[in-house]
Amino acid sequence: MASEEIEASKFLKDKEAGINVADDEKRLNSSDTTCGFSIFRGPALQRFATAHMFVIVYGIASCFLAMAFTYFTGTITTMEKRFNIPTKISGLITVGNDISTVFSSAFLSYYASRGHRPRWVALGLIIIAIFCLLMLTPHIFYGPGEEALRLTEEYGMSESFGASLNITEKNDSLCHEKNSNCLERAGDYTPIVLFFIAQFIGGIGCSLFYAPGLSYMDDNSASSKTPAMLSWSSFLRMLGPAMGFSMVSLCLRLYIDPFKKPLITTNDPRWMGAWWIGWILLTFILTISAVFVGMFPKEMPRAKARRLKADGEEDIPLAGRSFQDMLDSLKRLASNKVYVYNMLASILYLFGYMPYWIFTPKYIEIQYRQSASTSTMATGTWALGFSAAGILISGYVISKYKPSARAMAAWNFVVDYLTVAGMLCYVLVGCDESDRANSLSIVPTGDSCSASCVCEYVYYAPVCSPENITFISACHAGCTDKAINELGKTIYTGCRCMGNVSSIISLSNVTSLASQSQIAMDGACPVDCNKQFLIFLAVMCFLKFVGATGRSSNLLLALRCVPSKDKTFSLGFGSMVYSVLAFIPSPIVFGWMLDSYCLVWGKTCSSKGNCWIYDTKSLRYTMNLVCASLIFLGSFWNIGVWYHAKDMKVFDEDEKTVQAKQSDDIELKEKPNDVVTKKK
């Protein structure tokens, strides 16, 4: 009965104010609130015009977008090997999307804030699909490369037709004569340029995807439901990295040319997987996702009804938005202490945590001697599974218990300190055998035993001595000949840089060789770092879970600390600032850091290519301590957020509570005498 009186009173108020109810219904059922586009419209699609359906579709699209950028992260080391790219250059390629974000994010998010945001999001997905297509083009133009083809059976068969056995065996792995020509490989920067252009275009797509999409989701749902929707959307997005790393793992198990039979296994550091296959699939699924996202209306019918009843605000035409309006919005954001302090805390956190997002597979490969496939699978399954669990649990807790803004800021402070503690654990989790193997592998390079050889520009082709010492190549070991044993394995003989021949044990079928020959086996010496790798994986999963629990609260603070009219612009401007101060410099700085600890470079006559062996111990200490220090400094800004967020309102009152208050007001107006009597 009370609800009927409320509706009746609203109708009378509208009538007294001269508002035509029929006109309201027409406005609510206009093209702005209708699903579809062009000929794809109708009542059948209109039932999908709900906030929950947008969360699902947008979350799935976020999943595919995250999948694309994660796929790039997982294939970085393979692309470095294929195109001889140093890590600092790959770090520069990585920031290409952040550079474009700097120039596009604030402007695009501002002008898209009151436009048809789902279609802006769809345009962003199409641009990301173009990014995937451009990432594929270097393989189309250059193929798998001669280095990879040399390690296939088909290459050896084709070479044997035009050369004698002696010429075939005298390859780049063995000793060259003095004053021989170095390995001629002209430095071609075209693949690097193509990768950078692809990343640059991808950043524009991300600018159009995230800020308009998140603000559209928040504006078209009740504030009490926003935490749950954000957590579910983030959960669906977190499936993207898991799926991306899984795809990387599957693709890298295939050789870069799947139609040829490789002579090495996936555990060999020279293995190059089929990094290019995944880009084909990603191009198609992102294009299809753009179609589904673009079908949503400019504004949900229920959301428009709530907005019109609240303040009667109408849309400002895109042409009517001036540059001065944007400056006014910027001034409001600059004077918002919660927004500024939260941004400063996030900048330092992102700067310190960025190398773990980009270089984690590479870190696992060089620190714990795992294959590229295993490294990406571990990063993309277990670790991201814990991240997804953290997002879901935090979303449930926030939705159920509705903590205050101060409580959320305090939890972000706790997350920072737990992250710092985990990074200090990374420093302690090292593999001594790997450190020893890396340091020993470079000792013989300047030795007199290989002085008669020219080994500086040979291919990286490690061999293992009987003392379990890895040499960069048979040339660096001073070997002169090679043979194939009955097991099909390559054995190098006459290796003058090896230890005493009496220490050789259990090498099969070497008795047929000269008794005084010093022998090496093809491939790097085995190193067991599995125990340390499992400890590292456990700590990483813990950090992923803890860090994910702070994402929903941090995003909710960012959305609620600004006025509704500045929401989309604040997200876009934040993306621009994060790109300038965190996303761009961090990969470059840490890429340079990785290169500074390189022990063995893949040199050519004209350039220095990718790194093959690192000083893992020094790298582990420096990288983790620097990251922990940055996040520790950022935690103090969260104290400022906690202090200034004391009066910030995160959740609106429930609809039931509002209705109850309205019904009480009606009863008080209708029965004032009864109330006075009761009070007396």
Shared domain check, 202 and 58: yes
Shared domain check, 483 and 409: no
The predicted pLDDT at position 452 comes to 58
The tokens for 47 are 């039932």
Which of 523, 524, 333, 564 has its CA nearest to residue 433? 524
Shared domain check, 95 and 196: yes
The predicted pLDDT at position 509 comes to 40
The predicted pLDDT at position 186 comes to 47
Q: Is residue 13 part of a domain?
A: no
Domain boundaries, position 668: 650-680
105 to each of 204, 346, 365, 381, how far by Cα in Å? 7, 17, 35, 31
Around Cβ 56, how many Cβ atoms within 10 Å?
A: 16
Last residue of a domain, one of 486, 501, 522: 522
Shared domain check, 269 and 120: yes
Shared domain check, 410 and 483: no
Q: What is the CATH number of the domain that holds 371?
A: 1.20.1250.20
Shared domain check, 540 and 392: yes
The predicted pLDDT at position 310 comes to 54
The residue type at 406: R
The predicted pLDDT at position 78 comes to 86
Residue 522, helix vs strand vs coil: strand
Shared domain check, 493 and 425: no
Shared domain check, 445 and 426: no
Half-sphere exposure of 412 (CA within 13 A, CB side): 33
- Could you give the number of structural domains in the chain? 3
- Give, to the nearest 10 degrees, the angle between helix 190-219 and helix 530-560: 50
The predicted pLDDT at position 19 comes to 45
Q: Is residue 633 part of a domain?
A: yes
- Give, to the nearest 10 degrees, the angle between helix 21-28 and helix 2-16: 100
Residue given tokens 């749902």 in the structure block: 221
Last residue of a domain, one of 478, 494, 522: 522
Give first-to-last CA distance, the chain, whole Å: 28
- Give 10-residue mean pLDDT values along the chain (680 residues): 42 45 48 69 74 85 89 86 83 83 72 74 92 92 85 64 35 47 58 91 86 75 67 76 84 88 79 90 92 83 61 47 73 89 92 86 86 77 79 84 87 91 92 69 53 66 79 79 73 72 37 52 81 91 89 82 79 83 87 85 65 86 94 91 84 50 48 42
The tokens for 655 are 């609809």
The predicted pLDDT at position 178 comes to 42
Last residue of a domain, one of 522, 548, 563: 522
Q: Is residue 28 part of a domain?
A: no
The predicted pLDDT at position 422 comes to 93
Q: Is residue 91 part of a domain?
A: yes
Q: Is residue 377 part of a domain?
A: yes
Gap between the Cα atoms of 174 and 517, Å rounded: 15
Shared domain check, 585 and 505: no
Quick check: 253 and 416 in contact, CB under 8 A?
no
The tokens for 147 are 């280095």
Q: Is residue 452 part of a domain?
A: yes
Gap between the Cα atoms of 385 and 78, Å rounded: 25
Shared domain check, 299 and 261: yes
Gap between the Cα atoms of 260 and 149, Å rounded: 8
The tokens for 360 are 């984690």
Shared domain check, 549 and 497: no
Q: Is residue 40 part of a domain?
A: no
Shared domain check, 679 and 603: no
Q: Is residue 33 part of a domain?
A: no
